Amino acid sequence: SYALRHPRVLNFLYQLKAGQGFVVAATILEGDYLDKYQFIEPIRLLLKASLTQAKVQGFAEVLAAKDVEDGISALIQTEGLGGLKPNTIVICWPVNWKKDYEAYTADAFVRTIAIAEARRCAVIVPKNINNFPDSKEIQDGTIDIWWIIHDGGLLFLIAFLLKRNKVWSRCRIRLFTVAQLEDNSVEMKKDLEQYMYQLRIEAEVNVVEMDNQEISAYAYERTLKLAERVQLLKDLKLPDKELQLQPQILMESLLNNQRQSIDESDDQYHYTFTPHQLENLKKSVGASSMRKMHSAVRLNQQIRDRSHDAKLVLINLPSPPSKQTSLAAFSYMEYVDALTEGLHRLLLMRGSGREVITIFS
């Protein structure tokens, strides 16, 4: 007999379906196709029945591949029909990734994020998925958005879509955006409140001041994303009034022009300590890695102080390591775990870079 490991992810997809679109639910069978083909159809039927039970309209896919990484890569590259292709990947955070280290769970997960990024797909990672509500558990509280990388408003969009479902409709949205000490926090808050008003999204805006060390692992990407997004918005040739309401334009105008740029050559792939399985390599961990781990702990404390009672927390997923090694993958997973420790329900999100939310959306 077969059973879904995370059935609540289907409930989450149903709650997200206010935005319509179609869903492809897929699973990977590790092994040779000739050894596994007799299991494919029974598992596909189970997956399809689970979709029906969760009231999710979509397709069920089962793929046999030599390992999870190759299977997910093939699905991301080939799924779809003509121009109708998935633009968002939903993958649960691996619960036992430390215990499954020898099975390359960390490597497979990080590689999936990198493949989705190369394919220009957005990524949504539910963490602690078993804590998420089913379709009968009405929530009453707050949905907290921690908008650290200003990447086009994907976090706003997901929060907005969830609010349209009865499970989350009673929740209030709170937006926490990060400002550094030299930024104009008052003006930033005022402009973001105006932006939320123009989008017809009711949200309480909070500007949290942090120093460079507290967001060191995000700092380079924040700067890079701002530049990329501003250029994209200009390429779209939006009307001037509409362009000025985009969050990237607001942020660029408020950020201090004198801010010191982050050196791109810094170790973008080395996030934290080495795993205990590689104890003999601990001496190779540099001061930069230590600082980034400590910054994750400090940022996590800020989030927990303000969002400890939130029904759901949405936060940017940090960039995956540029070097695809087991050590880098393990370090990345350790870093994200430290960043999100103690949060009951969490959505980690990474935009494709093409999302643009306007007052006409």
107's tokens: 């490597």
List for the chain the helix, strand, coil content (%; round to 5): 45, 15, 35
- Tens digit of pLDDT for each residue in 232-256? 445 544 445 444 444 444 444 444 4
Report the pLDDT value the prediction gives residue 341, as an integer from 0 to 100.
92
Type and span of the H or E element at 175? strand 172-180
Confidence of residue 157 (pLDDT cuts 50, 70, 90): confident
Q: Give the percent of the chain with pLDDT over 70.
A: 71
Task: Look at 85-89, 102-106, 246-250 and tell me which has the smallest mean pLDDT.
Answer: 246-250
Please state, in angstroms and rounded to a whole number, the distance separating the CA atoms of residues 310 and 320.
27
Contact of 229 with 248, CB cutoff 8 Å: yes
Q: Running DSSP on this structure, what letter comes out for residue 29?
A: E
169 pLDDT band, cuts 50/70/90, is: very high
The domain limits of the chain are: 137-350
Per-residue pLDDT averaged across 52-72, rounded?
90
pLDDT of residue 184: 80
DSSP assignments along 104-147, one per residue: THHHHHHHHHHHHHHTT-EEEEEESGGGS--TT----SEEEEEE
Average pLDDT over the chain reads 78
One-letter identity of residue 236:
L
Counting DSSP H helices and E strands in the chain, the numbers are 11, 9
Q: Can you give the pLDDT at residue 295?
A: 77
Q: State yes or no: pLDDT of 285 exceeds 50.
A: no
Distance CA 283, CA 259 (A): 33
pLDDT at site 12: 94
Q: 7-52: per-residue pLDDT in tens?
A: 899 999 999 876 467 899 999 999 999 999 999 999 999 999 999 9
209-219 pLDDT, tens digit each: 876 655 655 54
Of 63-67, 167-171, 352-356, the one with minimum mean pLDDT is: 352-356
